[in-house]
Structure formats: structure tokens, C-alpha cells
Amino acid sequence: MTGLGRASGGAEAAPASQQGMRRQNLAVVLGAVAAHGPLSRADVAGQTGLTRPAVSSMVDELIARGALTETETAPSGRVGRPGRALVLSDRGPAGLGLEIGVTHLAACVVDLRGEARVWRRVERANAGRPAGQVLAEAAVLGAEAESAAAGLGLRVEGRVLAVPGVVPNAPRGLIANAPNLGWQAVRPADHWPDPDTVPEPENEANLGALAEQWHQGLPDETFVHVSAEAGIGAALIVGGQLFRGARGFAGELGHLPVHPEGAPCACGARGCLEQYAGEAAVLREAGLAGTGDPVALLAERAGAGDAATLRALDRAGRALGLALASAVHLIDPDGLVLGGAYAELADWLLPPVRAELAARVTVRPWAPEAVRPAALGRRGPVLGAAWSTVRQIIADPTRLPAR
């Protein structure tokens, strides 16, 4: 550009600024339809404060990118052409969520409306298996889900992988430690068969918390989301934002000591919460073998009134309540959410958890209903993984190629 006689300062800054403003306005328009649609173009102008010509230009571009569709509304009884309404597209852009659990693999594709259009889940004993083998199987499952989505007219624009491990803030793309899988310093990109479809890894508890926030419409709430499979993880949403900690290691609630001189933990410490409220500990206390779906087995036995299972769940709930009381005192959250396996066992865990909190949280108001089961249960992490892409697209529609 300098060869055309333009100055190297403000003359080159203007196009970048205009481009940034257009990107922002596209996000504002798409966000308005996502939050309040279906809307007419005039409605969008009223919602956003943009002029009608500007809205019309933005809408045309969003339609071209496959983010919006315009449909005829129901007849209004007025003379003239039927009105037209803008809605998020149920074809075109989509997000793929993948999950590697200790006992399963899962995949989910959601459209821009956030609706799950494809589900895949297979039971796999992943603990101790080579990371490359597990990741290759997850890639196959993801490819199957993408193929099914393509048959529905959906095009995956982003991929996120939920894992039961620590994903540090930097470098991204690294699973630093997944102890219940037996993984250390694993990069999915090193094992993924197709370099164009490598997913971004993220901690499953973080994704479960974000999924709960988005699903429940809690934009500004501060809450702790606790989930359990083989291990226990937690995620902290502060004022609507995920708190990852200085290095991305926040949320290791399973290694909070609840009995300092208690049972040894695989992490090297003693008395960690996982040794009293983790899946293996509850099964052991109940005298059950961990075959099949252990959560379903525990729920079945507890529902049938099995005394050993009820005692085991009561013990787990009291240990969990003890740990959560510390979290309440430290963080002062609006509420606590029991996710993952805990959500499906909430009928038996909530009474002892609430009793422990009532006895220990005495310096601030605390209501029993501030502890609740997650609405999404064990589906939260994989849904959160898929929804992450949709949220990113709505925040920046220029991620989408124009058709």
C-alpha cells in the first residue's frame, strides 16, 4: 500500500478498524437472533440499535455464510406480503464434541441452534491403554458422527475433546496429566489420523460447567460444578466466566483432603476426597464390582433399598459436603451443582451433602436448595464440547466461510 502513496500510519489503520467494526456488528446481529429469534430485520434493528440498511447488509452476509435462514412467518391477517423471520440455521455450520472417559467414548454434533443432531457412545475400558490407541478410536467415532451430520446437511466447523485430565493454559493442545487414564503429557495432534480434524482438548469438568451455564441461562452466576467418574473434578464459574487458575490447574477438588491422616491416594497424598466419594471408593464400600455401568448399578441398588449401597452413598455425600463447605467459605458462590455421575445419584447424595453444609457453613446465609443436580447429567461434558464451537461462531461469524 505504501507504493500507492499512502502514509504508513492512519491510512492503513482505517481498513483494519472498519473490518473489526463489521465483525463486531455481525456478531451483534447473530447474537440478537440467537437470543431472541425468530426476528424480522426490523426487529433486529430495534434490538441492536443498528440502522435498517446496516442490518440488511449484515443479514445478507450471515445468510451467505450459512448462519441464518429467512422464513415466512404465519399470516398476520393484514393486507400485503407475509412477514419474514430470521432464525439460526439448522443446516450448514455445526460443532463436534468428543469425550474420552475412563469407561466410554462419546461424540455429539450440534447445529447453530444448539440442538444435538447426532449422538454416538460406545463403552470402552480406556484406563491404562496406550493414548494413541484410544485417540485413534475417538477419531473413528468422530468421523462417523461427522458423516452422519453431513447426511443431515451439517458441516462441522470446530471440534473440542473433553478429557478427564489437566489441560494447562499453555501450551494449548496438551493434556498434561490424566491420572485415571494413565496419561502424561499427551498431545492429541501427535496421534490423530487426520491433521485437519484434530480437536482442541479441554477438561471435562470445565466443559460440563460451561454446558450447565449455557443450558440454564446463567450469564452472571458464580457457581462450583462438581462431577465424578473414576475421579472427581470441579470447575468454577465466576461472574459467568470460567476460572482456570494461573496455569489451568484449578478445580482439582478430588485431591482436597477431607481426612488428613486418611487413606493413601494415587496422587501421593492421604485422605483425598476421591478416596471417600470417588466411584471406586463408593463401589468398594457398597461391596459391588465395577463391571458394566457402575453409576446405573449404584442407582439400581440404592433404589431397591440395599443397605450397603445406601451407607456407601451416605458416606460419600458427607465427604463431598465436607469438601464443598471449604469451597463455599473460600469462594462464596451463588450455588453448587452436582454433575456427571453425581447428578444421577443425587437422590441419595443430596441429603448428606446438604446436612454437612448446613452444619459447617454458618458465617453466611446458605439455603439447602443452593445445591442442585446438573440438568444435563453425564451428557454435560460432550454437549459442552460441541456447544463451544457454536458459541465461538456466534461470537465471531467471520469464522464461517462465505458460500
Average pLDDT over all residues of the chain? 90
Indicate if the pLDDT at residue 39 is higher than 60: yes
Which of the pair, 81 or 353, is modelled with greater confidence?
A: 353
Per-residue model confidence (pLDDT) at position 10: 40
What digits encode the pLDDT tens for the residues 349-379?
A: 999 999 999 999 999 899 999 999 999 999 9
Least confident piece of the model among 62-76, 93-107, 181-195, 258-272: 62-76
Indicate if the pLDDT at residue 77 is higher than 80: no
Per-residue model confidence (pLDDT) at position 63: 95
CA distances from 43 to 22, 55, 136 (A): 19, 10, 47
Indicate if the pLDDT at residue 153 is higher than 70: yes
Region 87-110: what's the mean pLDDT? 96
Region 45-67: what's the mean pLDDT? 94
Indicate if the pLDDT at residue 72 is higher than 90: no
Question: H-helix or E-strand containing 150?
Answer: helix 131-150
Indicate if the pLDDT at residue 80 is higher than 90: no
Which of the pair, 399 or 13, is modelled with greater confidence?
A: 399
Q: Give the orientation angle of helix 10-36 with respect to helix 41-48, to 10 degrees.
A: 110
Residue count (the chain)? 403
> Is the whole-model pTM more than 0.75?
yes
What confidence category does residue 267 fall into, taking pLDDT thresholds of 50, 70 and 90? confident
Distance CA 337, CA 330 (A): 16
Rounded to the nearest angstrom, the gap between the alpha carbon of residue 340 and the centroid of all alpha carbons in its chain is 12
Which of the pair, 36 or 229, is modelled with greater confidence?
A: 36
Indicate if the pLDDT at residue 2 is higher than 90: no
Backbone φ/ψ region at 156: left (φ over 0), alpha (ψ -120 to 50), beta: beta
Indicate if the pLDDT at residue 88 is higher than 50: yes
Indicate if the pLDDT at residue 190 is higher than 70: yes
Per-residue model confidence (pLDDT) at position 268: 85
What is the percent of the chain where pLDDT is above 70? Answer: 93
Per-residue model confidence (pLDDT) at position 20: 85
Of 14-18, 266-270, 340-344, the range with the highest mean pLDDT is: 340-344
